[in-house]
Structure 1
Amino acid sequence: MAQKTVLITGCSSGIGMALAVKMAGDEQKRFRVYATMRNLDKKDHLVEAAGRTIGNTMEIMQLDVCNEDSIKMCISNIPDRRIDILVNNAGVGLIGPIECQTIDEMQNVMDTNFFGLVRLLKEVLPDMKKRRSGHIVIISSVMGIQGILFNDVYAASKFAVEGFCESLAIQALKFKLHLSLIEPGPVVTEFERKVFEDGMKMDLSAADKETADMFVNIYLKNYKQIFQTLGQSAEDIAEHTVKIILAENPPFRHQTNTLYTPITTLKYADPNGDLPIETFYKLVFQHDKIFSASLNFIKLQGEEQNDIKN
């Protein structure tokens, strides 16, 4: 296959960096990767991980998905403005009671996670349509399918992404374009560590005592255990993403974590939408010991599956 030009956003760490390094290091050199980030002062880890691919199959460029001029400048510096594969990965997180979050903080999440994608597509989509060729890959989340306690605004941003892409996919099909949503569950990265640390430092004075206690003693208390049990690495997500990119007929949605699939399946099992909400409620507030035991059981199952594979 001819070498494909790939633009990836949010490459200073985590999934974006892992994917850029993996694609640029492809033994068959099928990809020329433009690894972008908002702040080039944070490129050192990527440079170290990318090694000799820098200047060969990888270029590092500045791109801020919240700034239209930044997007235009970056894409204008790519030969012929040609992007065969666009990977929208840049994002921010936010957890906690909404009473303790400012509207500016919420708007920042929507501006980055949703409107960031929209800005990119307004610049890239017309060229893909003209060529009738291209693959748009969005790093979404299972929280674009199922909302989770104290992730209200982050889930809203991912629901917006999913609804936007589901609508756009029909048009994309007419222009012979591929559009794929990659939906990880928990991923152990710097992104998640920062979200957790920000949650730990959150001023909860605006919340009632019961809500604040719920956030600290239920959500934050179980946060690490959930990630230890269900969490994947950035490299896992990169591997899944490359498989979808290389697929002859890439799917519209791809969940990366089979351990998480039963949770999202609840949503489709009940058209009324009550089943997943009631199930989560009972697990969190009525059967917390069963919830912890279930996590341990899932973790053991995952370890057994890995032992069998190895």
Structure 2
Amino acid sequence: CQLQSQVLKEISVLARIMARRNVLITGCSSGIGLALAVKMAKDEQKRFKVYATMRNLAKKEPLEEAAGHRLGKTLEIKQLDVCDEQSIKTCVNSIPDRRIDVLVSNAGMGLIGPIECQTIDEMKTVMDTNFFGLVRLLKEILPDMKRRKSGHIVIISSVMGIQGILFNDVYAASKFAVEGFCESLAIQALKFKLQLSLIEPGPVVTEFERKVFEDGMKMDLSAADEETAEMFTNIYLKNYKQIFQSLGQSAEDVAEIILAENPPFRHQTNTLYTPMTTLKYADPNGDLPIDIFYKMVFQHDKIFSASLNFIKLLRWRSRKSFDLGKPSQ
């Protein structure tokens, strides 16, 4: 009886291991990718085996520390550069049977500022990472999922894939491309019984956003006219930090939402930001959101600033106010 009990236990453990879903996540050196990788690796039901990837393995220490004793068990760290097809292929080939049940396309980069001050090469790099990076991943992984008729593709998009924002022209363009691509692909995915989910965060307080902000502060504005340069410095950058302090989510908040059962095709994670994106659907002509954003920025900036401060106060009282990059104590 003891032998039979032991065998049953071992079979049960083996069954759980076999039932685990292999999850490949890109961009795990910080932010949403790191938070999601750790969250899934520490799942109490042990449903996932996480392959957390990053372009530069020299930046893996924060993930290793966060993973703790799960490292090497339910979480493995691998090198993957979404801008390099061979890097993607090597990573996927290193996974047993190349089986990826859940792909989370999270790696990305930002770019803010007047387009006169950005080079075409910088713009191409953003598009290559944010859009073609996703395309490269799917060209390698999608055929296996289609053959098995099983898989879930999760794409970290942005509210700026729905609505463009001042001085985010190129970043918004890359996310618009992602949204259109996935909207088209979702129809085909249904035929192969695949799930496809677009996660659309609003402002998320991460190292990603901190770097974008710092790069914007250091930008050479000499190629822009005086009025545009002043607009970027004294209106956009001035409000950037305040918006994140008032409306910002944590990476952990977004990670919680991704783990939800049966997520919809599109999911905006930040309810505080939803009224702004709703404007786009309220007017098919597109004039309403542009007019309202223009008035908020240039005519009613004091009311806008006061509103952000009020939201920040409410969130501070509920212990959910953030500084750019770190939760406030």
Deviates more, 1:215-224 or 1:292-301: 292-301
Contact 1:11 1:46 in 2 (8 A): yes
Q: Paired residue for 2:129, among 104, 112, 133?
A: 112
Q: Calculate the TM-score normalised by the size of structure 2.
A: 0.90
1:149 is matched with 166
**Are 2:277 and 1:264 equivalent residues in the alignment?**
yes
Q: Paired residue for 1:242, among 235, 256, 259?
A: 259
1:209 is matched with 226
Alpha-carbon displacement from aligned partner over 1:202-251 (angstroms, at most 9, x marks no partner)? 000000000000000000011110000000011111111112xxx1x321
2:12 is matched with none
Deviates more, 1:234-243 or 1:13-22: 234-243
1:121 is matched with 138
**Are 2:45 and 1:32 equivalent residues in the alignment?**
no
Contact 1:259 1:302 in 2 (8 A): no
Aligned partners of 2:144, 2:54: CA distance in 1, in Å?
22
Equivalent AA in structure 2 for residue 272 of structure 1: N
2:200 is matched with 183
Q: Paired residue for 1:74, among 91, 95, 102?
A: 91
Q: Calculate the TM-score normalised by the size of structure 1.
A: 0.96
1:286 is matched with 299
Alpha-carbon displacement from aligned partner over 1:49-86 (angstroms, at most 9, x marks no partner)? 10111110001000000000000000000000000000
Q: Paired residue for 2:75, among 50, 58, 70?
A: 58
Contact 1:259 1:298 in 2 (8 A): no
Equivalent AA in structure 2 for residue 298 of structure 1: I
Give the unaligned 5+ runs of structure 1: none
Equivalent AA in structure 2 for residue 93 of structure 1: G
2:119 is matched with 102
Quote the sequence identity (%): 83
Secondary structure in structure 2 of the residue aligned to 1:29 = coil
**Aligned residues: CA RMSD:** 1.2
Aligned residues: 303
TM-aligned CA deviation for residue 301 of structure 1: 4.8
Point out the structure with max Rg over C-alpha: 2
Secondary structure in structure 2 of the residue aligned to 1:215 = helix
Contact 1:95 1:195 in 2 (8 A): yes
